[in-house]
Amino acid sequence: MLMAITRFSYSTILALLYLSLLHLVTSFPSSNGQIDYNYNYNYYDSSCPRLGMIVKYGVWAAFKNDTRIAASLLRLHFHDCFVNGCDASILLDDTIDFRGEKNALPNRNSARGYEVIESIKADVEKACPSTVSCVDILALAARESVLLSGGPYYPLSLGGLDGLTASEKAANEQLPSPFEPLENITAKFASKGLDIKDVVVLSGAHTIGFAQCFSFKRRLFDFKGTGKPDPTLDSSAVANLQGTCPNKDASNSKLAPLDSASTYRFDNAYYVNLVNRTGLLESDQALMGDSKTAAMVTAYSSNSYLFSADFASSMVKMSNLGILTGSNGQIRKKCGSVN
């Protein structure tokens, strides 16, 4: 019976289960440690009732022209929340007062989707002036991207405010790198209140999207100075990727799918790839080098419903990191600049 449930109906059931378990009003600790009872799932129901449809249409219109944008918006949300909390700081342009996150090494020439969020924000401002924060729009757009790609629905608490500053230094220090060992990445997650299960689950977002050759090319030719490819990467995958990314600097910005089996479909094929030693990024394949994370990878590779449920749960956790309330933030008129 369970196997006959469609992806859409399963996602709907999953959402209902979450909503039955979670309070409609979240007693959520804000950035100053105070409990904010106004941060909730229905926050904009009265003040901006069309918000959901505006975001849905904005993401759909962008997705129709560029299927890569779904992964880009999800990544933008992750890179925002992982640096000093979810505050839309990644959307801020540099000013005379600070160097922002857009040009930090993990984001420079790779983070995408800024113009999509700005466009949605402009439409939201027309319908509901000075009402909806950019951080909430980004979170909603990321969820819509997951849904459009076939992934699960998950509930979002809304009502958080936009940050007043951004930090290139913080982005360089806090964002995980595809070149880092698993223990470093796990430590960075732990510093945010996320555990090793969240590492494995949120890495599953790599079921959609692309990576530039420079982020994995050392695995193909001279891994850690050995003069040979990474032994954890399947030899046939090495040959294919060497064709896409020849050992020349000119290939550094070329793209390869993170999940070649289902590049634009949000599913559990990412984990199947890891089991088969065809994970693209070094940090992804490293999940098979640790017994605890390897067991989780194996479980998700054989059970897409388990992955969907756990991904929804981890996204709820991540989307609640460091939410700003009260005088700690504002509702920006434009996402790229502080009012």
**Which token pair is 319?**
């989307």
One-character DSSP codes across 25-65:
B--EE-TTS-EETT-BTTTTTTT-TTHHHHHHHHHHHHHHH
The Cα 56–Cα 143 span in angstroms is 9
Q: How does 172-210 read in b/e, with b if 16+ C-beta sit within 10 Å?
A: bebbbbbebebeebbebbeebebebebbbbbbbbbbbbb
The Cα 107–Cα 75 span in angstroms is 10
- Which of 121, 117, 55 has the alpha carbon at shortest distance from 91? 117
Does the annotation count 79 as an active-site position? Answer: yes
The Cα 75–Cα 281 span in angstroms is 15
> For residues 65 and 300, is the Cβ–Cβ distance under 8 A?
no
Quick one: CA dihedral 39, 45, 47, 49, positive or negative? Answer: positive
Of the residues 23, 77, 79, 206, which is catalytic?
79
> For residues 104 and 305, is the Cβ–Cβ distance under 8 A?
no
- Which of 44, 29, 51 has the alpha carbon at shortest distance from 324? 29
What secondary structure letter does DSSP report for 147? H
Just list the catalytic residues: 79
